[in-house]
Amino acid sequence: MQAHDVSSFRRAVILVADGVGCGAAPDAAAYGDAGADTLGNIARAIGRLSLPNLGALGLGHLTTIAGTPPDAAPRGAWGALQEASAGKDTITGHWEMAGLVTDRALPTFPHGFPPEITRPLSIGAGRGLLGNKPASGTAIIEELGPEHIRTGDLILYTSADSVLQIAAHEEVVPLHELHRICEVARAIADHHQIGRVIARPFVGIPGEFHRTYNRRDYALVPPAPTLLDDLRGAGMDVVGIGKISDIFAGQYMDSSSPTESNAQGIARTKQLLRTLPEASLVFTNLVETDMVWGHRNDPEGFADCLREFDEGLPGLMTALRHGDLLVLTSDHGCDPTTPSTDHSREHAMLLAHLVGAPMAGRRHDGDTFADVGATVQRHLTGRHDGDLPGTPVL
């Protein structure tokens, strides 16, 4: 890809509210997710969900949210995007945002991992394995944590996603050792095209275990170029905040800043916007909605997390300069009102605000999550010539 004169380019922010879906996708039933609607169902479950700042950008147009009606004159363009990739995973959602559509779902393991995975993993780790089944992360730690402490064996589990998760108590398996084991697991997972290996450290005593923010994701390397590769090739800075670098296997990043909370992610995004030059992309993932509240089926906690995000949004927007593009989106749903604790196949929100430009009130009738990357590419490079899929908002 040719480098461009970046002196006249603007900046862009992609802010991913992890798991914040806005209504079941047309093929949701095939994924067991008929009726899923993360935002709408949370509002119905708690009676009212007021998100005035997100509403002012057009959120109320995406699905019926009691307490956040459609704004008559939204400050940005809005639309609901349908995932073209197979699956409902963090990896596929983020990859598609960046222009990489995967037509074959990454493998899942509803009956646990086969011996060709567990045998070399146990040998490489030098420890036994407990569990080896789909499970809620908090539930399996409560179930097997005492035996793990007694034996030192690792807790191995999965979910409806393409993921191999290893949980260990930080006083039984030090973090550096857990990370080494997950690197062994990643090498094994590469042979089976598993999307992510996740280190899930926890602390506490039986009955009072809790997971820490020392989680680390080890992702499959994207099999084809993405928006991030294109921007780096054009001489632009790409900065990942939260787990973005992990999702893209550390590829195409000038720098990365892991976070421990949504508030920290927003604060670091604001800080970067005050210092970053033009010709840059800040790509931020806010994971608490998904990890802390969605997977635990807690609509009240999910709603509080959304309110906190909504309250922090004006401060973030004040850090934007004239010509900056802000795109708020999501990677899948994680409806906490359904019996499942897994992700849900839903539309992703698209709320796009361009400082100083007339995008107000524009409805975006695009097709796929790739519209996010197409919009950012058009804004930062002045082109969208078909090298990446998607329909730009701009």
* pLDDT at site 140: 97
Where the chain has pLDDT below 50, the residues are 1-7
Q: Annotate 254-320 with DSSP letters as a single string.
A: SEEE--SSHHHHHHHHHHHHHH--SSEEEEEEE-HIIIIIITTT-HHHHHHHHHHHHHHHHHHHHTP
- List all residues 6 or more positions away from 213 whose beta carbon is below 8 Å from its beta carbon: 260, 261
Q: Return the domain boundaries, the chain.
A: 6-105+222-381, 115-219
Of 194, 174, 176, residue with least CA distance to 249: 194
Print burial letters for 190-199: b (CB count within 10 Å at least 16), e (below 16).
eebebbbbbb
Report whether 364 contacts 352 (CB < 8 A): yes
CA dihedral 143, 145, 147, 152 (to 10 degrees): 150
* pLDDT at site 365: 86
* pLDDT at site 4: 41
CB atoms < 10 A from the CB of 138, how many? 18
- List all residues 6 or more positions away from 300 whose beta carbon is below 8 Å from its beta carbon: 46
SS3 label, residue 25: coil
Same topology, domains 6-105+222-381 and 115-219? Answer is no
* pLDDT at site 6: 41
114: its two tokens: 């086969």
252: its two tokens: 């195409």
* pLDDT at site 2: 37
Give, to the nearest 10 degrees, the angle between helix 299-318 and helix 262-275.
Answer: 10
Domain 115-219 is found in CATH 3.30.390.50: no
Report whether 78 contacts 364 (CB < 8 A): yes
Report whether 57 contacts 314 (CB < 8 A): no
Q: Among 3.30.365.10, 3.30.1330.10, 1.10.3720.10, 3.40.720.10, name the CATH number for the domain at 6-105+222-381.
A: 3.40.720.10
